[in-house]
Amino acid sequence: MNDELAAQYERALAARQGDSRGEVSAVEIVDALLTAARTAQASDIHLIPDAAGAAVFWRLDGVLQPVTRIAKPLAPNVVSRLKVLAELLTYRTEVPQEGRLRWDRGAPAEQLAGEASSPSPPGDVEMRLSTFPTMYGEKAVVRLFVGSGAFRRLDDLGLATEIRDSVSDLLLESGGVFAVCGPAGSGKTTTIYACLREVADKSGGQRSLVSLEDPIEAAIDGVAQSQVNPAAGFDYATGLKSLMRQDPEVILVGEIRDRETAETVFQAALTGHLVLTTFHAGSAAEAICRLSDMGIEPYLLRSGLLAILSQRLLRRLCDCSTETTNETDRFGLDITSCCVPAGCERCRGTGYRGRLLLAEFLRNEATELGKAILSRSDAADLEQLAVQAGMKTRWQSGLDAVAAGETSPAELIRVFGSSRSTT
């Protein structure tokens, strides 16, 4: 167990109890856990039930780390308390549930942060709770959207200058689909929200902005936001068809999950609406192929797709990193030297502090690329054509980051996989 993380939680818990050693309650545990997680700038909290109670982990810089344990009598009550805060049904433990967490932050975070070297908590943090039934009880995951406070605008994301400028220009378009893709935890929501805020700022209230989300993860001024409710028959596809009669100009669709939603998104794009959305795909070229595999006609992709931004988050090396020429540390990459993590108090001994964003931007404007989309070319061919048109891949950006000492070969391989190191 990470002793420092456990100590941080214990300090927060002691502060919630007024430094008393009386019996602790589920309310105090939840308040202390959420406060400590915010102070550590964790992105997720995991409560995993087992025969003895529940193990608590949280995710720092994209890596899950152990924090503490909650004994069996209290563990279910802690999950119930989280469900109360998220306005979920506490008596329904046999089905998954999810919702936004409404929580009073309580005591000042600086009072609970402990050592001065601890990172400062972000300003406003939106949180979402997801519960899932297991053989030992409900597993609960709290996602903390620090991006709602720290990464509000395009300039805050750390995108390469040319990509940031291209995205900014694209957001002035009056129609078409702009998709942000990547796996879970790659920052898609943070990026798409930053884009929507950019649109709202630039429009000055002169464009009709609406969203359809599942769930709403941050409130944005000037945007009419709506949350789908599949149990009531209000899903993405149904909601989008209704939104089309609301005179929108810019539509945010939280995620393309099925063929019907994808078709409606592209029909909206072809009828004079700018649609911002997210999509699960490994790369920009793979996103095009996945949409085609879902049944979207090539002419719709060619005509309706503006661009795809594919992104990943890699841990950034701490200042304590050291340079090496050791072949083992290079993981087969075509480099002569690299920096590797060392570990110090500032990075909690991990060797990494913070993360950097790697992105590739594929704009659907090159003639040859458009022909390849119409002919249903595979992802490798599409990527090659995009590179010839000037696209810099995430892998190449990662290699550049390693060469610049921003991250390590091990971290690059952790995120992209070992097979890329040989290509």
Is residue 154 a contact partner of residue 167, using CB atoms and an 8 Å limit?
Answer: yes
Q: Percentage of the chain surpassing pLDDT 90?
A: 68
Compute the CA torsion angle 60, 64, 66, 67 (nearest 10 deg).
30
**Distance, CA of 105 to CA of 146 (rounded, Å):** 14
Is residue 139 a contact partner of residue 132, using CB atoms and an 8 Å limit?
Answer: yes
Three-state SS letters, 321-362: CEEECCHHHHCCCCCCCEEECCCCCCCCCCCEEEEEEEEEEE
**Distance, CA of 187 to CA of 415 (rounded, Å):** 14
The answer for residues whose C-beta is within 8 angstroms of residue 331's C-beta and 6 or more apart is: 409, 410, 412, 413, 418, 421
Higher pLDDT, 1 or 216: 216
Higher pLDDT, 122 or 68: 68
Q: Report whether pLDDT(175) > 50.
A: yes
The answer for residues whose C-beta is within 8 angstroms of residue 349's C-beta and 6 or more apart is: 4, 343
* Residue 112 pLDDT: 34
Closest CA to 278 of 192, 364, 172: 192
Pinpoint the alpha helices (H) of 125-220.
147-150, 161-170, 188-203
**Distance, CA of 11 to CA of 15 (rounded, Å):** 6
**Distance, CA of 333 to CA of 317 (rounded, Å):** 18
pLDDT tier for residue 146 given thresholds of 50, 70 and 90? low
Q: Is the dihedral of CA 42, 123, 83, 4 positive or negative?
A: positive
pLDDT tier for residue 204 given thresholds of 50, 70 and 90? confident
pLDDT tier for residue 101 given thresholds of 50, 70 and 90? confident
Closest CA to 95 of 139, 39, 37: 139
- Name residue, tokens 């995710």: 59
Q: How many CB atoms lie within 10 A of CB 271?
A: 10
**Hey, what are 405's tokens?**
């000492």
**Distance, CA of 253 to CA of 51 (rounded, Å):** 40
Among 9-23, 39-53, 161-175, 361-375, which is the least confidently predicted range?
9-23
Q: Report whether pLDDT(148) > 60.
A: no
Per-residue pLDDT of 42-79, as tens digits, reads: 989 999 999 999 999 999 998 999 999 999 889 999 99
Task: Average the pLDDT over 88-116 and give the result.
Answer: 68
pLDDT tier for residue 150 given thresholds of 50, 70 and 90? low
* Residue 22 pLDDT: 55
* Residue 98 pLDDT: 87
The CA-atom distances, in angstroms, between 292 and each of 155, 208, 285, 355, 376 are 32, 30, 11, 32, 8
**Hey, what are 377's tokens?**
């070319």
**Distance, CA of 186 to CA of 416 (rounded, Å):** 12
**Distance, CA of 294 to CA of 288 (rounded, Å):** 10
pLDDT tier for residue 149 given thresholds of 50, 70 and 90? low
Per-residue pLDDT of 275-315, as tens digits, reads: 999 999 999 999 999 999 999 999 999 999 999 999 999 99
pLDDT tier for residue 387 given thresholds of 50, 70 and 90? very high
The answer for residues whose C-beta is within 8 angstroms of residue 120's C-beta and 6 or more apart is: 109, 110, 113
**Distance, CA of 16 to CA of 403 (rounded, Å):** 46
Task: Average the pLDDT over 378-389 and give the result.
Answer: 94
Task: Average the pLDDT over 264-285 and give the result.
Answer: 94
CA-angle at 28, arms to 23 and 31, nearest 5°: 165
**Distance, CA of 139 to CA of 137 (rounded, Å):** 7
Q: Report whether pLDDT(123) > 70.
A: no
pLDDT tier for residue 151 given thresholds of 50, 70 and 90? low
Task: Average the pLDDT over 134-142 and give the result.
Answer: 97
Q: Which of these CATH numbers, 3.30.450.90, 1.10.10.10, 1.10.1040.10, 1.50.40.10, describes 3-146?
A: 3.30.450.90
Pinpoint the alpha helices (H) of 90-187.
109-112, 147-150, 161-170
Q: Report whether pLDDT(422) > 80.
A: no
- Name residue, tokens 């990494």: 352
Task: Average the pLDDT over 199-223 and give the result.
Answer: 90
* Residue 108 pLDDT: 39
Higher pLDDT, 332 or 149: 332
* Residue 319 pLDDT: 95
Instruction: Tell if the pTM clears 0.75, that is, is over it.
Output: yes
Element (H, E) at 151: none
The answer for residues whose C-beta is within 8 angstroms of residue 231's C-beta and 6 or more apart is: none
Sequence ranges of the chain with CATH classification 3.40.50.300: 149-422
Top-confidence range, 4-18, 121-135, 162-176: 162-176
Edge-first strand listing for the sheet containing 126-134? 63-71, 53-60, 44-50, 137-145, 126-134, 97-100
Q: Report whether pLDDT(125) > 70.
A: no
* Residue 230 pLDDT: 85
As beta bridge partners, residue 339 has 323
- In CATH, the architecture of 149-422 is 3-Layer(aba) Sandwich (3.40)
Task: Average the pLDDT over 225-249 and give the result.
Answer: 91
**What value does the mean pLDDT of the chain take?**
88
Sequence ranges of the chain with CATH classification 3.30.450.90: 3-146
Per-residue pLDDT of 340-357, as tens digits, reads: 999 998 988 899 999 999
